[in-house]
Amino acid sequence: MEVNPMTKVYKMIRELKVVPHKSRQKFLCSMFEGIIKSRSVIFSEIADKIEYPAKVESIERRIQSFFKELSFDYSQLLFFFLSFIHHKELSLSIDRTEWDFGKTQINILCVVVSIGKMGVPLYFEMLDNNSGNSNLDNGSRVHWL
């Protein structure tokens, strides 16, 4: 009997303890399925693809709450993502990006593992500096997985 791929994903999430609590593990699995179906990381588009007996707006708020209230075990998340990658050679990229959201500047440091044209974010950190290049003198510290 063939096992549903999402059942395998759920089992991996549970075994690696990427997030605590069974209900959050199930919801994370649903979000992964929503990301795959929507081919997007926009919460409203993911929510639209999650099969759950609630309005899309409610599911979107649940996604927002999930990320707001939960801290991940990033080392376990790394093992989870790398378990899907079956290549001998990986590229590690480090990038800092800055966006303007109204009058607010959002400055993010991101570490990504790349295989060909696909990239998986391994780590990201919101930087406190207002603009320009980031540096270690401003109090930001990178914690590697």
- Give the mean pLDDT of 9-17: 81
At 133 the pLDDT is: 55
Residue 10's H or E segment, with its range, is helix 5-16
The mean predicted confidence, pLDDT, of the chain is 79
Whether the CB-CB separation of 109 and 134 falls below 8 Å is answered with: yes
15 pLDDT exceeds 90? no
For 64, other C-beta atoms within 10 Å of its C-beta total 12
Strand (E) or helix (H) holding 135: none
How big is the chain, counted in residues?
Answer: 145
Query: Average pLDDT for residues 28-34, to the nearest whole number?
Result: 89
The amino acid at 18: V
User: What residues does each domain of the chain span?
Assistant: 5-82, 91-137
Which pLDDT score is estimated for 129?
Answer: 60
Average pLDDT over residues 32-46: 90
